Structure 1
Amino acid sequence: MDRMTALTVFRNVVELGSFAAASRQLGLSPAAISKNVSELEAHLSVRLINRTTRRMSLTEAGTLYFERVVQALDDLAEADGILQAAQNTPSGLLRVSAPMTVTLVRLSDAIPKFLLRYPEISLDLRLDDRRVNLVEEGFDIALRGSDNLEDSGLIARKLATMDHVLCAAPSYLETHGRPQQPEDLAQHNCIQFSLSDHATKWTFHNGKRTASVPISGRYKVSSSLAVRDALCAGFGISVIPRMYVAQDIATGRLCPVLQDWTPNETSLYAVYPSRRFIVSKVRVFLDFLVDEMSA
């Protein structure tokens, strides 16, 4: 039995919740995963995991052992990381998941500068608006926009606050009228961003009161760029991050509406797996994100 491999397999099985997920994460066959756990249990003369064909759970001994194994493996990873950091050369493959729109609007033109600055880093950037499982899918960092980030056991670093604006094309407002209060939106064709935390209800504040308004419309779409295109075409009215439409507002293609009312903001975070020591390639990319989003 390779003790280090067996401990790593045991940790991954527990953290991912299944032998199959650990197999995919570590690139080992299901038989090898099962064999490593069995050999570790034989070495310790104790059962660590109760398992059936449908579920698994830690035994009491397994729970105690898992806590110490995690600490030991993290200490070893930190020792390795200290040596890597001492070399002062961030390197290796960096896998990042990020929402498409905010990346194209705010980050993609700066990515080449980052890679030129760190020639030993290779970047695999996946533009995908879904929320990936960082650990199971092998990502180092993910960007997530939310006004209520879930407690996922990940470390989150806030990059920016994205303020929103309610807007429409002049042609739409000429035809359908300009809402005077948030409640007037019930009479309008509201373009819905389906991945938003507020896809069916928009909330506004004016310093004195808060108005949460159920909205509906003929067009629901999972891309903010598609929302912007529909707005510019005069198809409806929508709440959208201001950075996506700033140029359209400046040129008059779109007009802000209900300017005395402020829509909910969205915070943009970089999230990454919990570790006491961040490897240098992750650290420098986090610093890059902070600099770009604050510019």
Structure 2
Amino acid sequence: MDSLTGLRVFVKVVETGSFTAAAEALELSRAMVSKHVQTLEARLGVRLLQRSTRRVALTEAGSRYHARASAWLEDMDTTEAELGQLTTEPRGTLRISAPMSFGRVYVAPLLGEFLNRHPGLRIDLALADRAVDLIEDGYDLAVRIGELADSSLVCRRLAATRLLLCASPGYLARYGTPDHPAELSGHECLSYRLSDTPSDWHFSDADGHTATVRIDGRVRADNGEALCEAAANGLGIVLQPDFIAGPFLQAGRLLALLPDWNTREIGIHAVYPERRYLPARARRFIDFLAERYALAPWRMES
């Protein structure tokens, strides 16, 4: 029989003073209450209760066991209640991983508002353009941008960002402005380093034509802001998300290229290990990000 149930039955018998009262309180038959206590005594090898037709009394061993059992059950009930609160009200430390540039501009500034909403919460934010191992590194969630590899992680799309093709005025004055994606192969293109293989840039136009260009330039980096800075200094053409390239375009340091060709729109996602037991702190923060990103504040006006 279930030893935990037997423990609860024994404590209830002592509290109520009889097998009958304990049976009524626990919605069990009197025979089942008696069987639980007998099983517990047999497992422990001692008699816990002295039975008579009128009352139930604790033996010396039963008295000692009852004191420990009552305290243990109370502590366990308190722990279960606290764990239940974790699924409703955010508490503890929320550990978040986010890309460097996006996290610095569109995650970090939101933390104050979120913490004001949930005063029982702490936040540990790690910014890096590499994909961390959420489970091994102990993160509650990660914000990730782009295509996601198949995994056991749960994914929720929060928003989208569009890739923008750009170059500096100085570069274009020196090397010319491409009119078609195919011309990019004759230009110095700066690539985002995701692996040791060259990058492919994809384009489409209003008539349904598509073009794919293989990029393998002299400059590669694992941070989009660094690539845009390099492009602004005349080192080549860059393809970066609007939340990174936008400020460079607005400042006139970069100019948008190939206006008749569309580049890909890529997703901004929240990923996390489990859906069933997702802590309230992670669930609330994901909902909060979705709310804040609904209007894509990084999107440039057409």
Q: Name the SS for the 2:248 alignment partner.
A: helix
**Aligned partner of 1:213: which letter?**
V
Alignment of 1:235-246 (within 5 A): 235-246=235-246
Q: 1:168 matched to which residue of 2?
A: 167
Is the 2:198–2:216 Cα contact (8 Å) retained in structure 1? no
1:262 Cα deviation after fit: 1.1
Distance 2:178 2:203 in 1: 13
> Structure 1: any 5+ residue segments left out of the alignment?
4-78
Other-structure match for 1:289: 289
CA distance in 1, matches of 2:195, 2:294: 23
Shift of 1:163: 0.4
Name the % identity: 37
AA of the residue aligned to 1:83: G
Alignment-mate amino acid for residue 238 of structure 2: S
Aligned counterpart, 1:42: none
Aligned partner of 2:118 in structure 1 is: 118
Q: Go from structure 1 to structure 2 and tell me whether the alpha carbon gap of 1:230 and 1:199 turns closer, same or farther (over 3 Å shift).
A: same
With 128-137 and 152-161 compared, the bigger mean Cα shift is at 128-137
Once the two structures are TM-superposed, the CA of residue 188 in structure 1 deviates from its matched residue by: 0.6
Structure 2 residue ranges without an equivalent (≥5) = 4-79, 296-302
- Aligned CA-pair RMSD: 2.4
Question: In the alignment, does 2:195 pair up with 1:205?
Answer: no
Aligned position for 1:230: 230
Give me the whole-angstrom Cα distance separating, in 1, the residues matched to 2:181 and 2:123: 44
Deviation, 1:80, is 6.1
Corresponding position of 2:217:
217
Task: Measure, in 2, the Cα distance between the counterparts of 1:197 and 1:294.
Answer: 35
Instruction: State the alpha-carbon separation in 2 of the partners of residues 250 and 133 from structure 1.
Output: 36
User: What does 1:244-263 align with in structure 2 at a 5 Å threshold?
Assistant: 244-263=244-263
Give the SS at the match of 2:201: strand
Q: Sort the Cα spacing of 1:81 and 1:275 in 2 relative to 1 into closer, same or farther, 3 A.
A: farther
The equivalent of 1:180 in structure 2 is: 179
Helix, strand or coil: the match of 2:235? Answer: coil
Pairs within 5 Å for 1:27-176 = 83-84=84-85, 88-147=88-147, 149-176=148-175
Tell me which amino acid in the other structure corresponds to 2:84. L
TM-fit CA distance, 1:213: 0.6
Cα shift readout 1:152-183 (whole Å, capped 9, x = no counterpart): 11110101111011011111100000001101
What is the Cα deviation at residue 200 of structure 1?
Answer: 1.6
Q: Provide the C-alpha distance between the structure 2 equivalents of 1:198 and 1:113, rounded to a whole number of angstroms.
A: 41
Asked if structure 2 preserves the Cα contact closer than 8 Å seen for 1:92 and 1:121, the reply is yes
With structure 2 as the length reference, what TM-score do the two structures score?
0.67
The one-letter code sitting in structure 2 at the alignment partner of 1:257 is L
**SS of residue matched to 1:136:** helix
Larger radius of gyration: 2
Contact 2:98 2:128 (8 Å CA) reproduced: yes
CA shift, 1:248, in A, is: 2.3
Instruction: Find the aligned partners of 1:118 and 1:239 in 2 and give their Cα distance.
Output: 38
SS at match of 1:231: helix
**1:203 Cα deviation (Å)?**
0.7
Task: Determine the structure 1 residue equivalent to 2:68.
Answer: none
Query: TM-score, normalized by length of structure 1?
Result: 0.68
Deviation at 1:251, TM superposition (A): 3.1
Question: 2: CA distance between counterparts of 1:196 and 1:226?
Answer: 17
Distance in 2 between residues matched to 1:198 and 1:250, nearest whole Å: 32
Secondary structure of residue in 2 paired with 1:212: strand
Q: Is the 8 A contact 2:140 2:272 kept in 1?
A: yes
Q: Secondary structure at the match of 1:175?
A: helix
